[in-house]
Amino acid sequence: MSGELSRRDFLKQSGGLVVSFSLAPLARLEPSRDGVVQRGGGAPRSQIDSKQLDSWNGIGADGRVTAHSGKCELGQGMHTAQVQLIAEELAVPIDRVKLIMCDTSISPDQGTTSGSQSHPANFNHENLALACATAREALVGLAAARLGVPPDQLTVTDGMVAAKNDASKKVAYGELVGGKKFSLALNPNAKRRDPRSWKVLGTSVPRVDLPAVVTGQMEFVQNVRAPGMVHGCVVRPPAVGATLLSVDESSVQGMPGVIKVVVRKNFVGVVAEKPWQAIQAASRLKATWTPASLPRQAEFYDYVRKQPSRDELLVDSRDVDETLSRAATVVKATYRHPYQMHGSLGSSCAVADVQSDRATVWSSTQSAYPTRNGVAMLLGLPPERVRVVFTRGSGCYGLNGADTVSYDAALLSQAAGRPVRVQLSRKDEMAFENYGQPYVIEQRVGLDRDGNIVAWDHESWSATLGNRPGYDTPGNVITGTLAGFQPAAFAPRTPAPPPSGRFDNGSNAAPSYVAGCVGGACGGTGSVKSERVLTHAIRGPFFTGPLRSPSRLQNTFAHESVLDEIAARLNVDPVEYRLRHLRDPRLIDVVKAAAKAANWQSRPSPRRGTGATANGRGMACVLYEGDNGYCALVADVDVDRNSGRIAVKRFVVAQDCGPISSPDGMKNQIEGGVLQGMSRAVGEEVTWDDTKVTSVDWRTYRSLTMGADMPSIESVLINRTEGEAMGAGETAITLVAAAIGNAVFDATGARLREVPFTAERVKAVLGSLKEGGSGKSEV
C-alpha cells in the first residue's frame, strides 16, 4: 500500500460509502442562510453535508473503513493521526482504514488545514471524531438488533461487535452495513472512547505514509500527470505593484514546443509541450512593466510606524498611563522582527484541467474548498463546477505558493484548452509569496518598589497585504491580483474603538502576564490588571500571510524578552519572575517542567562569565493563541565573543496540548519547530532593494542547512487525558527567538532586540557593551 490514493481509482475503492462526485446537477447561486447572495466563487458551500455520517465514514462489505476528512497531510503527520483516531473510535486495525483528505468532490468542507486547528477541530467532540463515535454507536445498535443482545452488553473489537458474556454472539461490521449508507445524522451525544483506555490513539504509531515517501513512491502534486498535459511557466512582474505595459509575443515565436503566450490583465504566462521549453520561453519572452518603487529597507521599521494604520485595542484597563506615571520604575524596550518567508523546499506546483464547463485542479493548497471557490472566480465558473483534489506538496508552514500556483495553472489551462502543469521557479516562489509579517513592538512595563509588575503597555506596528484568499478574495495572493482581483480592503482606523466582547489575546499580542480583562471578565493567563494592548496594522509593500506561528512568534519574542530584561534589572531569576506573575496552572506547570528537565539553576542573568566562548541559558513560555497549547522552552547557547556567532547547544521543551494523539508525532513537530525557529532566529530575513525583492534563492535567503551543528532536543510531554485536544505544531517555534535571545543575554549581557541574530548583529551589540553602551533596557 503506497499510502496514497490514485485519483484514477478514487471512486472505485472498496469502502462502501462514498458520496459520488457528480458534475451533473448544477446548483444555482442561491441566497445563503444569512440572505446574502454570493458572488462568483464566494459562498463557502459544499454538496457534502458535514452533519451527515455518510459524509465522513463508510464501511465496506469487507469491513474496511473509508473516511473523509477536510484536514490534510502537510508533512505534520495529520494523515496518520486521523487514521489513529478512526481506528480507535471504530475499533478496527490501522491497516483497515483508508483516509481521503481534502478532495472537494467527497470531503466535507473544513476550511483550511492550518493554525494548529486540526486537533481542536477533528479530535474533540465534533466533525471526524464525532462521526466515528456516531458510527460505532450505530454499529452497536445494528448488532444489538441482529444478535438480540442489549447494546450495553456489547463490545467492539477488531471490526466486530460481540456480546460481552457470550463470545459466540458476534457480527462483523461488514455484515452490518457493508456497502450501504448509514443515512444518519452525526449524534452530538455519541460518546468518544475514554482516552484512558485508548489502544491506538495516544500511541506512537509509525507514519503510515512514510514508507512510500522514503522510497520515492509517493505521488506529490509535482508528480501528477494528466492525459494530454502540457507545461506552463509564469512571467511575473519585477515587483508587487508593477503593471504590464506590453508583451512582445514575437520574442518567443518559433521556439520549440511553445503552444501559447497567455496575457490576462497583468498576468503573463507561457504554455509549452515540455517543462524545459516553457521555462526557456518564459525567460525569453519580452514583457515591459511599470517600475516599482519600494520603501528603503534600512529605514523600514521607521516607515512602518509612520503609515496610516488600522488600530485595535485588545485590552485597555484605562488606567495604564496613570499607573505607569506612579510606578517606581518603567522598563521600556523596542523589538523588531523582519519579513520572513515560508521558503518551501519544493517550488509550488499545481496541475489544472479546465474545460468549457468544468475544471479539476490538483493542488497542495491547505484550503481545498476556498481554493475551489477562488479558482471558480478566476475562471468564471460556478464553484460547483470546480473540483480541487488535494495532493501533497512540499512542507508549507503556512501560506506558501500553493494557492497562487493553483490559480496560475487554472488560468493557463483555460487559455490553452489543455491540462497544464505549472511549477514555479525558485525566484517566483520566493519573491512573491505571502511573507510572515514584520513587526515593531514597543513595551512599557511599570514596576512597584518590590519589583512586581503593576502595568503593562504593549504597542505594535505590523505591515500586511493580502492574506489567505479565503472563499472570495483571490486577490490576496499574487496571481489573483495580477488577474485583476483586489487584495482584501485596507481601512485605516485611528483611534481604535474600546475592546468589546470577550477577551481575545490577538495572536498573542497580549502577554502571558496580564489578566486580560474585558467587560468585567478576565481571560488572560497572568495577574497584571493595569493593561493595554494596542496594535497598528499598516499596508506594506509585500504580500503577507500566515507563517508558522503568525504574529504569535513576533509578539512572544517581545513579551518574553522584556520579561527577562525586567528580571535582570531586578536581579531576580527569570523563571521565578515568570511564576510570580502567572496564574494559569497549566502554564505554570510547563514552565516548571521545562526548568526541571533543563536542570535550571536559580540565579539572576547575566552570568558574567569570561572567556572567548560565553555560555548561557534562556527561558520563554506561552499559551498559544490564549487557548491552544501550553509550552515552555529552555535554550542553552554558546556565544563566540569574537565572531558574534551563536551556537545553540540544547533545547528543552515542555508541552501540554491536552490528550496526546501520538507522542512521537508530537515530538517530531516540537523538534522541527524549534530547529526551524532557530534558523529563523539566527539568520532568516527577506531583503529588498529600491525596486525588487533580493531574497530569491538559498544564497540570498539563509536557511540553516543539513551541515549546521544542531542542538540536542529534549521534549517533556504532559498528557492531559481529561482536557480538550489542542494544536501542537506551532507552540515550540513561538518561543525560540525569545529563549535564544534571553540565553545570549545570560551568557554575555548583550540584549538582542532585533531578529535575526546574525553574527554581525550580535558582535555589534557586544561591541556597544564594551563601549559602555546599552545592553540595558531604557528606564
Partner 1 sequence: MSKIALRVNGRAHTVDVDPTTPLLYVLSDDLELRGPKFGCGLGLCGACTVIVKGRAVRSCVTPVSTMEGAEITTLEGLGTIEKPHPIQRAFIDAQAAQCGFCLSGVILTAKAFLDQNPRATEPQIRQAMSGVLCRCFTHNRMYDAIKKYAQEKRS
- The residue among 390 and 513 lying less far from partner 1, judged by its C-beta, is 390
- The residue among 161 and 598 lying less far from partner 1, judged by its C-beta, is 598
Q: Which x/- pattern, by CB under 8 A, does the window 347-376 give for partner 1?
A: x-x---------------------------
Q: What is the nearest approach in angstroms of partner 1 to the Cβ of residue 271? A: 15
The residue within the footprint of partner 1, chosen from 395, 474, 487, 629 (CB under 8 A), is 395
- The residue among 36 and 345 lying less far from partner 1, judged by its C-beta, is 345
Binding of partner 1 by 218 (CB under 8 A): yes
The residue within the footprint of partner 1, chosen from 95, 697, 760, 778 (CB under 8 A), is 697
* Calpha distance 423→347 (Å, rounded): 6
- The residue among 666 and 766 lying less far from partner 1, judged by its C-beta, is 666
Using the contact rule CB under 8 A, the part of the chain among 14-22, 203-211, 403-411, 577-585 near partner 1 is: 203-211
Binding of partner 1 by 486 (CB under 8 A): no
3-class secondary structure per residue, 226-295? CCCCEEEEECCCCCCCCCEEEEEHHHHCCCCCEEEEEEECCEEEEEECCHHHHHHHHHHCEEEECCCCCC
Binding of partner 1 by 344 (CB under 8 A): yes
Task: Find, among 2, 675, 7, the residue nearest to 395 by Cα.
Answer: 675
The residue within the footprint of partner 1, chosen from 710, 716, 717, 769 (CB under 8 A), is 710
Using the contact rule CB under 8 A, the part of the chain among 308-316, 328-336, 418-426, 567-575 near partner 1 is: 418-426
Binding of partner 1 by 236 (CB under 8 A): no
- The residue among 687 and 721 lying less far from partner 1, judged by its C-beta, is 687
Torsion of CA 691, 694, 695, 696, to 10 degrees: 100
* Calpha distance 408→350 (Å, rounded): 8
Binding of partner 1 by 676 (CB under 8 A): yes
The residue within the footprint of partner 1, chosen from 202, 393, 475, 546 (CB under 8 A), is 393
- The residue among 613 and 774 lying less far from partner 1, judged by its C-beta, is 613
Q: What is the nearest approach in angstroms of partner 1 to the Cβ of residue 455? A: 38
Distances (CA, A) of 620 to 578, 683, 734: 9, 20, 9
The residue within the footprint of partner 1, chosen from 217, 571, 599, 721 (CB under 8 A), is 217
Binding of partner 1 by 679 (CB under 8 A): yes
Q: Judge if the upstream peptide bond of residue 756 is cis by omega within 30 degrees of 0.
A: yes
The residue within the footprint of partner 1, chosen from 198, 397, 456, 485 (CB under 8 A), is 397
- The residue among 104 and 423 lying less far from partner 1, judged by its C-beta, is 423
Phi (first) and psi of residue 328, to 5 degrees: -65, -40
Binding of partner 1 by 698 (CB under 8 A): yes
Task: Find, among 56, 100, 58, 109, the residue nearest to 390 by Cα.
Answer: 100
Binding of partner 1 by 664 (CB under 8 A): yes
Bridging pattern class, strands 258-264 and 267-272: antiparallel
Phi (first) and psi of residue 750, to 5 degrees: -95, 125
Binding of partner 1 by 338 (CB under 8 A): no
Q: What is the nearest approach in angstroms of partner 1 to the Cβ of residue 710? A: 5
Angle between helices 402-416 and 368-379 (to 10 degrees): 40
Using the contact rule CB under 8 A, the part of the chain among 258-266, 282-290, 309-317, 697-705 near partner 1 is: 697-705
Binding of partner 1 by 713 (CB under 8 A): yes
Where does 364-418 show beta strands of DSSP type E? Answer: 386-390
Binding of partner 1 by 227 (CB under 8 A): no
The residue within the footprint of partner 1, chosen from 440, 675, 693, 737 (CB under 8 A), is 675
* Calpha distance 433→478 (Å, rounded): 8
The residue within the footprint of partner 1, chosen from 238, 241, 275, 451 (CB under 8 A), is 275
611: buried, middle or exposed (CB in 10 Å: 19+, 13-18, 0-12)?
exposed
Check: CB of residue 469 under 8 Å from CB of residue 591: no
The residue within the footprint of partner 1, chosen from 152, 699, 722, 771 (CB under 8 A), is 699
Q: What's the grid cell of residue 594?
A: 521545562
At 557, is the secondary structure helix, strand, or coil? Answer: helix
Using the contact rule CB under 8 A, the part of the chain among 29-37, 117-125, 513-521, 674-682 near partner 1 is: 674-682
Check: CB of residue 402 under 8 Å from CB of residue 363: yes
Phi (first) and psi of residue 712, to 5 degrees: -75, 155
Torsion of CA 764, 769, 773, 775, to 10 degrees: 90
At 743, is the secondary structure helix, strand, or coil? Answer: helix
Check: CB of residue 328 under 8 Å from CB of residue 448: yes
The residue within the footprint of partner 1, chosen from 64, 71, 98, 207 (CB under 8 A), is 207
Binding of partner 1 by 542 (CB under 8 A): no
Binding of partner 1 by 222 (CB under 8 A): yes
- The residue among 123 and 701 lying less far from partner 1, judged by its C-beta, is 701
- The residue among 277 and 544 lying less far from partner 1, judged by its C-beta, is 277
Q: What is the nearest approach in angstroms of partner 1 to the Cβ of residue 225? A: 6
Residues 6+ apart with CB under 8 A from 275: 231, 233, 421, 423
Check: CB of residue 162 under 8 Å from CB of residue 170: yes
The residue within the footprint of partner 1, chosen from 373, 668, 695, 731 (CB under 8 A), is 668
The residue within the footprint of partner 1, chosen from 40, 75, 516, 658 (CB under 8 A), is 75
Binding of partner 1 by 308 (CB under 8 A): no
How far from each other are the two terminal CA atoms of the chain, in whole angstroms?
A: 64
* Calpha distance 103→108 (Å, rounded): 8
* Calpha distance 450→327 (Å, rounded): 11
Q: What is the nearest approach in angstroms of partner 1 to the Cβ of residue 704? A: 8
The residue within the footprint of partner 1, chosen from 157, 293, 712, 768 (CB under 8 A), is 712
Q: What residues pair up with 633 in beta bridges, in sequence order?
A: 620, 653
- Contacting positions for partner 1 (CB under 8 A): 1-2, 74-77, 206-207, 210-220, 222-223, 225, 231, 256, 274-277, 343-347, 349, 392-395, 397, 423, 425-426, 664, 668, 671-673, 675-676, 678-679, 697-699, 703-710, 712-713
